[in-house]
């Protein structure tokens, strides 16, 4: 038998799921690349899917996660809003703390089987 392990999937819901690891990863890549298009490419995701994901999360949250500017002499791009950055940080902190608690509970309850 392979070593036993567990997994925790953290998604935020308001009815349907609207924010999870994928959205957080996408926003972090937008922050890094300054482009939703480049972030989507790095995640092997179509731009239209990335756009829909962000817009749905914004609708559920009631605030913008991204600010986009159209092309021109300096080119277009996207930036994560300050509120979007703070919300993503809250999600990541919550997920990390939950994983730490989960690891401790897993070891406590399954130590005899590890």
Query: What region, left, alpha or beta, does residue 31 occupy, with left being phi > 0 and alpha being psi -120 to 50 degrees?
Result: alpha
In which element (H, E) is residue 19 found? Answer: strand 16-19
- Cβ atoms < 10 Å from Cβ of 96: 11
Whether domain 17-113 has CATH 3.40.50.1820: the reply is: no
pLDDT tens digits, residue range 43-96?
999 999 999 999 999 999 999 999 987 765 566 789 999 999 999 999 999 999
Residue extents of the structural domains in the chain: 17-113
Beta bridge partners of 77: 69
CA dihedral for 46, 53, 87, 82, sign (positive or negative):
positive
Reduced to 3 states (helix: H, G, I; strand: E, B; else coil), residue 48 is helix
71 against 110, higher pLDDT: 110
pLDDT tens digits, residue range 12-42?
998 899 999 999 999 999 999 999 999 999 9
């Amino acid at each position: 038998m392979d070593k036993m392990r567990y997994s925790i999937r953290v998604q935020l819901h308001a009815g349907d799921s609207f924010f999870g690891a994928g959205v957080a990863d996408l926003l972090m890549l937008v922050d890094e690349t300054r482009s939703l298009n480049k972030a989507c490419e790095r995640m092997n995701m179509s731009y239209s899917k990335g756009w829909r994901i962000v817009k749905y999360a914004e609708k559920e949250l009631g605030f913008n996660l991204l600010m986009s500017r159209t092309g021109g002499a300096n080119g277009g791009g996207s930036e994560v809003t300050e509120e979007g950055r703070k919300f993503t940080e809250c999600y990541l902190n919550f997920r990390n703390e939950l994983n730490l608690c989960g690891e401790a509970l897993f070891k406590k309850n399954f130590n005899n089987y590890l």
